[in-house]
Amino acid sequence: MMDLIIKNGTIITATDTYQGDIAVKDGKIALIGQDLSDVEAKEVIDASGKYVLPGALDAHTHLEMPFGGTTSADSYEAGTRAAACGGVTTVFDFVIQRKGQGLIEAVEARRKLCEPQACVDYAFHTAITDLRPEILEELADSVEYGVPSFKVFTVYKKEGMMVEDGVFTKLLQKSKEVGALIGVHAENPDQIDQRTEEFLAEGKTSAWYHYMSRPEFVEAEAVKRAIHWAKSFDAPLYIVHLACKDGLDEVTRARDEGYEIYAETCPHYLHFTSDVYKREDGRNFVCSPPIKGKESQDALWEGIKRGDIATIATDHCPFQSHEKDWGKDDFTKIPNGCMGVENLYPYMLDAANRGRITFNKAVELCSTNVAKIFGCAPQKGTIAPGSDADIVIYDPNKKFVISKDNMHSDIDHTIWEGVELTGYPVMTFSRGKLVFKDGEFLGTPGHGQFVKRKGRK
């Protein structure tokens, strides 16, 4: 006896589109067939006219993260609730190693916080801020533990998160030995500091100067240098939240030369341009790297089509309006980060609905590639027998206008306000459990489980 059968839907994976029925048992996909009418199940859902997709994996979130003089405003519960309602069935949250902390110690502290709250499954990347010799040795233990991906920041010096080239290059070299993947937030910190100082001295304090203090070339230089180091050590590299054309061109060049370089971009870089920083509410869009000009936006879409952008993730790191308001008269006081975990899959599927990319491509970018790159395929990221029953039923005809009132996180505004989508998830299953239906969250905190991932060896 199966727990659930989803019948008559159009199943879409990264590679295939076909009519079929899916049977679920004990949280896993047990069977897929053209007609499972003869199979008994406790519950049958008719998905006629709907698309049946693997749940998305958001490779980049910052939930209840101390940052920017406060803590990002979505708790693990609120963030994973919003995730479920946007068809995201696994979030990858960033653990920030504090000075003196061990890697596994840092992960376990966050895991303890997350576990009772998580409404969908979760994995962690660790941002390394304090690379002592014993930490370099602990890398292998972390891979074994199930956290085989790490990140470095080339910025955020005053937050104690920035690392020097020596740390980055040591990690790249070690990553090959232990089967880890290093990610990088790449912007040039000295340029940012210098330009910021000049703007403030000139009384240029609006949100526009957040963008002007870290424009295209400031990001591009750091991306190019990061790729240079990865190539020098022939180590794989994952560039998080890539937002600029010249950086992407370097990714393309390196990939054409055969290097294992992965680029992630975010929906806000694909939808908005730097003009948002001229708006009255420009501070709400302040994130780093900032949203760039139209030339970069167009290049990112081209990079998606070429296959040089591997994943789309959200960098979900929201702050409440009153916190964003700290920077009304001084852009340096605006906590950096925007929301998006609930918008990722609907936005990219809308792009597919409009014919900008295929549905298979949307699934590849938001789900399959993330699982493959970060070591949890085929448990996650596809619809196949044996995979977790993380399934989204998507109505391609449903009209949806994004508003803070129909979002499910704890944030009092959304940068996506008023954006119109054609097509929207109508059901999300997390390991076979219905966690979202027709606009309503049906999940439970504590349901989400830690995803123990494999290293690259």
What is the distance between the alpha carbons of residues 406 and 421, in angstroms, rounded to a whole number? 13
How many helices (H) does the chain have, and how many strands (E)? Answer: 14, 19
Binding of ligand URP by 337 (CB under 6 A): yes
| Burial of 274 from C-beta contacts in 10 A (0-12 / 13-18 / 19+) | buried
Q: What is the DSSP letter of 354?
A: T
Region near Zn ion per CB under 5 A, out of 254-262, 313-321, 368-376, 403-411: 313-321
SS3 107: helix
Compute, in degrees rounded to 10, the torsion defined by CA atoms 184, 189, 195, 197: 130
- Report the candidate in 425, 409, 392 with the shortest Cα–Cα distance to residue 6: 392
What are residue 22's DSSP bridge partners?
6, 32
Is residue 367 within 8 Å of 310, Cβ to Cβ? Answer: no
**From 7, 81, 185, 408, residue interacting with Zn ion (rule: CB under 5 A):** 185
The secondary element (H helix, E strand) that includes residue 261 is: strand 261-265
Shortest distance, position 266 Cβ to ligand URP, whole Å: 9
Binding ligand URP by CB under 6 A: which of 97, 284, 297, 336? 336
Contact pattern from residue 315 through residue 344 relative to Zn ion, giving x for each residue in contact according to CB under 5 A and a dash for the rest: x-----------------------------
State which of residues 7, 81, 170, 185 lies at the interface with ligand URP (CB under 6 A).
Answer: 185
Q: Minimum Å distance from CB 338 to ligand URP?
A: 7
Residue nearest to ligand URP (CB): 336
Name which of ligand URP, Zn ion, none residue 337 binds, using a CB cut-off of 5 to 8 Å depending on partner kind: ligand URP
Answer yes or no whether residue 288 interacts with ligand URP by CB under 6 A: yes
Q: Helix, strand or coil for residue 374?
A: coil
Query: Measuring CA to CA, how many Å separate 114 from each of 95, 118, 137, 449?
Result: 11, 6, 26, 9
- Shortest distance, CB of residue 336 to ligand URP, whole angstroms? 3
Site string for ligand URP, 54-93 (x = CB under 6 A): --------x-------------------------------
Chosen residue from 63, 136, 218, 317 binding ligand URP by CB under 6 A: 317
Positions in the binding site for ligand URP (CB under 6 A): 62, 185, 287-288, 315, 317, 336-337
Q: Point out which residues bind Zn ion (CB under 5 A).
A: 185, 315
